[in-house]
Amino acid sequence: MTPASFAAPRQRLQVVPTDAPAPAESANQPDVTAFGQDLVAGLSATPRSISPKYFYDAEGSALFDRICELPEYYPTRTEVAILRDQAAHIAEAIGPRAEIVEFGAGSLMKIRLLLDAMDRPSRYLPIDISGEHLGQAAARLQQDYAGLEVVPVVADYTQDLILPRPAKGAGRRVGFFPGSTIGNFTPPQALHFLRMAARVLRGGALLLGADLFKDPALLHAAYNDAQGVTAAFNLNLLARANRELGADFDLEQFAHSAFYNAPMRRIEMHLVSLKDQRVHLGGREFAFAEGESLHTENSHKFTVESLRALAIEAGFTPGRVWTDPGRLFSLHWLQAPS
Ligand code: AVI
């Protein structure tokens, strides 16, 4: 269940043809050198940071799948339970012959729950930056849903997107952005994403999953699991830099740190240097003092109201909200402008 918005580019990829006037390939093309450039820039900055999108190489994606199954990590199973319990109501809001645009092609399980409840879905456009992963996932789905047109779109949807025009005779276009991946964006990035979604979903709607603020002890446990899978996921970023970029991070000398930052209403993940040390990357040397960290992820937590206010700012009209009985997680129906 990789949050495919953050799947990392591994090769130059073809974008599926669109009927947009400009060649979609250049507009949607991921940049293969981005990891190296961004890591050098992030290590040169004060404080040091790197985008969480670089977690998701093959190893990182496999570790994230394991995180989703952990007893402490409640978001995935809670969102799936909401989708399962509310599928009929959500399908009713979506309406007949609809076209679903999924931002990230991660969890085939989640989209299947929607498709199974929907009235004759016409087309499914999963968008993912990783063409390899996307092609396989799309082919599997196409096999199981013969009446559905599956059109994978290789693109980085954190950038401005160009999508195929809605099919003739299709119902409304509905975006699906589950998993609370929106929480991994900075607030300006979240607003930028939602504004872009409002544009490509014009006349339709967005079904958005957002993790809710809760007892910080529960949040802390979810990002500090007893088996150490989240720690391995975090440290894999350094392992990936060693594998792909020839860096020389000593994985024994960095530690996973995750804590709730109350004023910012977010979990922060860091990799903390356990001693004074030097790291080499791209012909440059970076000195880490003991206790100094590389900030690797923010995971913002929302209230129902804060999420709705953000959606309004982006041009959506918030509608129904579905939550679980414990109010751990929320799914929002957001009407796009016409
Ligand atoms: C993908 N994203 C919503 C996860 C989260 O909870 O922020 C990524 C994650 N990081 C650590 N555990 C899971």
Q: Whose CA is nearest to atom 2 of ligand 1?
A: 181
Listed residue (147, 189, 173) closest to 53, CA to CA? 189
Q: Quote helix, strand, coil % in the chain, to nearest 5.
A: 40, 25, 35
Nearest CA to ligand 1 atom 3: 181
Helix axes 58-69, 229-245, angle to 10 degrees: 170
Atom of ligand 1 nearest to the CA of 75: 6
* pLDDT greater than 60 at residue 27: no
Q: Provide the pLDDT for residue 79.
A: 98
Other Cβ atoms closer than 10 A to 217:
9
The full DSSP string for 55-122 is GBSHHHHHHHHHHHH-SS-HHHHHHHHHHHHHHHHHHHHH-TT-EEEEES---HHHHHHHHHHSSS--
Instruction: Give residue 104 CA to ligand 1 midpoint distance, Å.
Output: 14
What's the predicted TM-score (pTM) here? Answer: 0.90
Three-state SS for 170? coil
Q: What percent of the chain has pLDDT over 90?
A: 78
Other C-beta atoms within 10 Å of 192: how many?
16
Distance (angstroms) between ligand 1 centre and the Cα of 299 equals 6
Residue nearest atom 4 of ligand 1, based on CA coordinates: 181
Which residue is closest in CA terms to ligand 1's atom 6?
299
- Kindly give the pairing relationship between strand 293-300 and strand 48-49: parallel
* Alpha-helical runs (H) found in the chain: 24-28, 34-44, 58-69, 74-94, 108-117, 131-144, 187-200, 216-222, 229-245, 304-313
How far away, in angstroms, is 194 Cα from ligand 1 center?
19
Provide mean pLDDT across the span 221-243: 98
Torsion-angle region of residue 203: left (phi > 0), alpha (psi -120 to 50) or beta?
left
State which amino acid sits at residue 137. Answer: A
What is the model's pLDDT at position 258?
98
Band of residue 33 on the pLDDT scale cut at 50, 70, 90? confident
| pLDDT tens per residue across span 127-154 | 987 777 788 888 899 999 999 999 999 8
Confidence tier at 160 by pLDDT (50, 70, 90): confident
pLDDT of residue 281: 96
Task: List residues near ligand 1 (CB under 6 A).
Answer: 3, 67, 75, 179-181, 183-184, 223, 230, 297, 299
